[in-house]
């Protein structure tokens, strides 16, 4: 299939594409600047803004007292103050909002704000929160089978703890929004958000106006990765609040350090496990427990924990299994959605366990994987969903063959015997990722399609373009369904005024949900056009009859399948529809069928289908410096019938690299009292071009369209390939394990950064 090129590629390359802060200044526009809290935990006793207000150019300084409506926001519960009310709960929490003619005046004013804070002891780590009993919400649990019986049947039992670090999103475009007041209570907000509807709702509730007065528009994001699903609304609210008080347009965009301090990250976890298995390495029982660091407010922590638990067994059938999870409140920014939404942590934990099992029974980890994969008979997940159309086995067989996995493992052993200080490793990672919002209600989308009388089409979406290619995929779907050239299709900026009551673009469901909603709208328009065109054709020439089902939309024409001479160009047809008084505009709607989850029993069918993958990554490790070099990655992914192979390839490569950043490079460092130290790119290291393997082979699994009805039988792609980034970490772990002769390993944690690797190597090899 030919891939349509990225929809706004030309504008982006020329630097002419508008991100929120590229929108030219509005007449009379003000800037808003956030004053951050200097402590992680404390009480704001008093403040004095009088001197700061004398700075020329400062128009207002807003506090929580200036909020007319609700003073707290949040997705699951409204527990996060928009501006500090009394208690400060994390370092960098927004306290005041300076509204000024320019940023310089705001910087000046910031220095003159006086406040008195009573400092309290901060809680930073999961262990500290456990000690204090700062549990965020009731724990969650899945249970299947009989753990005790399972463990009693096992030949081996291993127990351990596994620590997983967080990750900063590092979208290139920091949070930004512009609020433009209109007549009376109207306001239009341009926001860099994955969730315009939530912004609209919260702004309305904060300002105390009805939803229909507020419009939120989003053209594109310079990356989001989940970081703008729940947290962008904070900044849109602040801009709107400033515009409300000043009656002037207000622009708010964060500097990098502010963005890193205010916003939450991927959740760090402490995982505890006990697993029982037989001499072949077949899992019999597993008791898995996850304790996550939620940060100061609820945000999306509970649904994220749930997704961790939904992916705690990854690709493996474990007959007796208990999965428990708890989120702990701490004095860190509220942690939030990040590509994979908790799934990567669950998967990293079980894959770490698979390697521990392999070391114990003395087998290649790939073989342990293979015998534990879900199959025809062993196919029910701990939460009761049956794994259908399982691609794990075909992917495994094809990947093993394509990469000569076992041959290369032997070569690597030879290499390692011959080299004392440089070692190589090769590890595999299977992916089974559930597609749907686990909160089943969210699996819906609307769309509005307008056809114009020059034969062009405008598509208005519920979904957001954040670089993942949603707009391009929808453009392709629209062109194909109308049988017209893609040049005739325009995807408009997403706004709450065109498609209302939308869900965030997240959970990798963007093209699944929006694609189907657009298809629904297009089918309505095509049916109206077809009925009218048949009448038109049949009136002109009565010798035979054309029925709507006979009409084909193809190559910018509409014609009768059996009488191709009976044809009209798409453009002429649209013009004719105006003459015939036929509406060329329709809304579409889609809801994912059959998904539900019952948390009272821990059973359900939360996912419409699963997306699968299999990767193998080879690394080279310098034992003296701890430097990891990625040599080669082979990633074989199941996207069903791809909507756009080039975009899917880009998503796979990008997600893999982002994943390896999490497992090998990125290391959030906090002081003991909870202040983030590495808040700028000189100290927080995301993968650079030199970190990427020289050889990345991406294979899209051929010949396996989605059996479940999805848009053009495709599968979601956005998040699942992030898991490939776990493979190089496993390869590093293998190397360290081999140095320790596969016994009494030091606790190899995630991330495995240079410095940590050196420490582990020293621990096993002596100094």
Could you give the residue numbers annotated as active site? 719
Which residue(s) pair with 72 in the sheet?
Answer: 81
Q: Least CB distance from residue 263 to ligand MOS, whole Å?
A: 13
Which residues, 439 to 468, sit near ligand HPA by CB under 6 A? 439, 442
Q: Least CB distance from residue 465 to ligand MTE, whole Å?
A: 8
Query: What number of CA atoms fall less than 13 Å from residue 286's CA on the CB side?
Result: 28
Q: Using alpha carbons, select from 252, 189, 178, 263 the residue that is nearest to residue 226.
A: 263
**What does 438 bind: ligand MOS, ligand HPA, ligand MTE, none (CB cut-off 5 to 8 Å by kind)?**
ligand HPA
Q: Least CB distance from residue 241 to ligand MOS, whole Å?
A: 25
Query: Is the CB of 176 or the CB of 568 nearer to ligand MTE?
Result: 176
Beta carbons of 398 and 636 less than 8 angstroms apart: yes
Largest CA distance in the chain: 95
Query: Is the CB of 242 or the CB of 302 nearer to ligand HPA?
Result: 302
Phi/psi of residue 708, each to 5°?
-80, 135
Angstrom distance (rounded) from CA 652 to CA 53: 51
**What does 467 bind: ligand HPA, ligand MOS, ligand MTE, none (CB cut-off 5 to 8 Å by kind)?**
ligand MTE
List C-alpha distances in Å: 316 to 25, 54, 145, 529, 538.
54, 65, 15, 50, 60
Q: Which two tokens stand for residue 4?
A: 């349509």
Query: Is the CB of 339 or the CB of 370 nearer to ligand HPA?
Result: 339
Which residue(s) pair with 327 in the sheet?
Answer: 292
Per the rule left: phi > 0, alpha: psi between -120 and 50, beta: everything else, 380 is beta
Beta carbons of 435 and 397 less than 8 angstroms apart: no
Nearest residue to ligand HPA, scored by beta-carbon proximity: 507
Angstrom distance (rounded) from CA 735 to CA 715: 35
Question: β-pairing, 596-598 with 603-605?
Answer: antiparallel
Please give the sequence-ordered ranges of beta strands (E in DSSP) within 165-205, or none if there are none: 176-181, 187-191
Q: Least CB distance from residue 338 to ligand MOS, whole Å?
A: 5
Instruction: Say which residue the tokens 């929490």 belong to.
Output: 93
Query: Is the CB of 226 or the CB of 687 nearer to ligand MTE?
Result: 226
Query: Is the CB of 110 or the CB of 306 nearer to ligand HPA?
Result: 306
Task: Report helix, strand or coil for 191.
Answer: strand
**Interaction mask 470-509, ligand HPA, x per CB under 6 A:** ------------------------------------xx--
**Does 307 sit near ligand HPA (CB under 6 A)?**
yes
**What does 510 bind: ligand HPA, ligand MOS, ligand MTE, none (CB cut-off 5 to 8 Å by kind)?**
ligand MTE
Cβ neighbours, 10 Å, residue 579: 10
Q: Using alpha carbons, select from 216, 264, 218, 244 the residue that is nearest to residue 91.
A: 264
| Interface with ligand HPA: number of residues (CB under 6 A) | 12
Phi/psi of residue 586, each to 5°?
-150, 150
Q: Least CB distance from residue 135 to ligand HPA, whole Å?
A: 21
Angstrom distance (rounded) from CA 291 to CA 738: 30
Q: Least CB distance from residue 165 to ligand HPA, whole Å?
A: 20
Query: Is the CB of 165 or the CB of 303 nearer to ligand HPA?
Result: 303
**Does 658 sit near ligand MTE (CB under 6 A)?**
no
**What does 307 bind: ligand HPA, ligand MOS, ligand MTE, none (CB cut-off 5 to 8 Å by kind)?**
ligand HPA
Beta carbons of 637 and 701 less than 8 angstroms apart: yes
Which residue(s) pair with 273 in the sheet?
Answer: 160, 288
| Interface with ligand MTE: number of residues (CB under 6 A) | 20
Q: Which two tokens stand for residue 81?
A: 């103050």
Q: Least CB distance from residue 596 to ligand MTE, whole Å?
A: 21
Instruction: Say which residue the tokens 């002891």 belong to.
Output: 121
Q: Least CB distance from residue 599 to ligand HPA, whole Å?
A: 13
- Binding range to ligand MTE, per CB under 6 A, among 45-53, 501-509, 590-598, 635-643: 501-509
Query: Is the CB of 597 or the CB of 750 nearer to ligand HPA?
Result: 597
Query: Is the CB of 317 or the CB of 656 nearer to ligand MOS?
Result: 656
**Does 341 sit near ligand HPA (CB under 6 A)?**
yes
**What does 437 bind: ligand HPA, ligand MTE, ligand MOS, none (CB cut-off 5 to 8 Å by kind)?**
ligand HPA
Q: Which residues bind ligand MTE (CB under 6 A)?
A: 223-226, 339, 466-468, 470, 505-511, 651, 654, 718-719
**Residues lying near ligand HPA in the complex (CB under 6 A):** 229, 300, 303, 307, 337, 341, 437-439, 442, 506-507
């Amino acid at each position: 299939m030919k891939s349509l090129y990225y929809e706004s590629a030309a504008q982006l390359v020329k630097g002419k594409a508008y991100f929120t802060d590229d929108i030219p200044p509005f007449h009379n526009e003000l800037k808003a600047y956030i004053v951050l809290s200097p402590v992680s935990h404390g009480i704001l006793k008093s403040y004095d803004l009088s001197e700061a207000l004398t700075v020329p150019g400062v128009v207002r300084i807003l506090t929580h007292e200036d909020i007319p409506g609700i003073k707290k926001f949040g997705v699951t519960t409204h527990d996060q103050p928009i501006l500090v009310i009394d208690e400060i709960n994390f370092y960098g929490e927004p306290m005041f909002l300076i509204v000024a003619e320019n940023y310089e005046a705001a910087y000046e004013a910031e220095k003159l704000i006086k406040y008195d804070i009573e400092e309290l002891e901060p809680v930073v780590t999961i262990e500290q929160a456990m000690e204090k009993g700062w549990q965020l919400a009731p724990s969650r649990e899945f249970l299947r089978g009989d753990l005790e019986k399972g463990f009693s049947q096992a030949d081996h039992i291993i127990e351990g703890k596994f620590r997983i670090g967080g990750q900063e999103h590092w979208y290139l475009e920091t949070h930004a929004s512009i609020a433009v007041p209109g007549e009376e209570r109207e306001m239009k907000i341009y926001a860099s958000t994955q969730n315009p509807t939530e912004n609209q709702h919260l702004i309305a509730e904060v300002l105390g106006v009805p939803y229909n007065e507020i419009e939120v528009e989003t053209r594109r994001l310079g990356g989001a990765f989940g970081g703008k699903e729940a947290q962008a609304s904070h900044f849109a609210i602040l801009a709107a609040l400033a515009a409300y008080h000043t009656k002037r347009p207000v622009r708010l965009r964060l500097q990098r350090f502010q963005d890193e301090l205010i916003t939450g990250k991927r959740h760090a976890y402490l995982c505890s496990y006990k697993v029982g298995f037989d001499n072949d390495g077949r899992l019999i029982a597993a008791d898995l427990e996850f304790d996550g660091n939620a940060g100061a407010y609820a945000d999306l922590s509970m649904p994220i924990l749930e997704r961790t638990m939904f992916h705690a067994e990854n690709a493996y059938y474990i007959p007796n299994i208990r999965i428990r999870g708890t989120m702990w409140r701490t004095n860190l920014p509220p942690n939030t959605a990040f590509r994979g939404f908790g799934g990567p942590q669950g998967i990293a934990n079980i894959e770490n366990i698979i390697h521990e099992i392999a070391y114990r029974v003395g087998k290649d980890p790939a073989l342990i994987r293979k015998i534990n994969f879900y199959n025809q008979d062993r196919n029910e997940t701990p939460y009761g969903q049956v794994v259908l159309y399982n691609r794990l086995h075909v992917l495994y067989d094809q990947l093993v063959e394509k990469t000569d996995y076992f041959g290369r493992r032997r070569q690597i052993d030879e290499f390692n015997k011959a080299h004392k200080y440089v070692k190589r490793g090769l590890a595999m990672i299977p992916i089974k990722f559930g597609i749907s919002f686990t909160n089943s209600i969210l699996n819906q989308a609307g769309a509005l399609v307008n056809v114009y009388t020059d034969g062009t089409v405008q598509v208005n979406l519920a979904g957001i373009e954040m670089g993942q290619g949603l707009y391009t995929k929808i453009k392709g779907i629209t062109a194909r369904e109308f049988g017209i050239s893609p040049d005739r299709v325009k995807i408009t900026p997403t706004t709450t005024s065109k498609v209302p009551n939308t869900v965030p673009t997240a959970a990798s469901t963007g093209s699944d949900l929006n694609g189907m909603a657009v298809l629904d709208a297009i089918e309505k328009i095509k049916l109206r056009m077809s009925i009218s065109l048949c009448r038109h054709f049949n009136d002109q020439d009565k010798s035979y009859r054309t029925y709507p089902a006979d009409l084909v939309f193809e190559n910018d024409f509409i014609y009768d399948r059996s009488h191709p001479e009976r044809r009209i160009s798409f453009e002429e047809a649209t013009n004719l529809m105006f003459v015939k008084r036929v509406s060329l505009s329709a809304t579409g709607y889609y809801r994912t069928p059959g998904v539900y989850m019952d948390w009272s029993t821990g059973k359900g069918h939360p996912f419409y289908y699963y997306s699968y993958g299999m990767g193998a990554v080879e690394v080279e490790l310098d034992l003296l410096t701890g430097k990891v070099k990625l040599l080669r990655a082979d990633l074989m992914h199941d996207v069903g019938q791809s909507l756009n192979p080039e975009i899917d390839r880009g998503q796979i490569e990008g997600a893999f690299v982002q994943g390896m950043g999490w497992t090998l490079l990125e290391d959030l460092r906090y002081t003991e009292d909870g202040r983030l130290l590495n808040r700028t790119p000189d100290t927080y290291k995301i993968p650079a071009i030199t970190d990427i393997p020289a050889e990345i082979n991406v294979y899209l699994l051929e010949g396996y369209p989605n059996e479940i009805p999805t848009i053009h039988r495709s599968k979601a792609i956005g998040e699942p390939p992030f898991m490939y980034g776990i493979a190089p970490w496993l390869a590093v772990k293998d190397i360290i394990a081999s140095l320790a002769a596969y016994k009494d390993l030091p606790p190899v944690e995630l991330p495995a950064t240079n410095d940590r690797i050196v420490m582990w190597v020293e621990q096993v090899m002596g100094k």
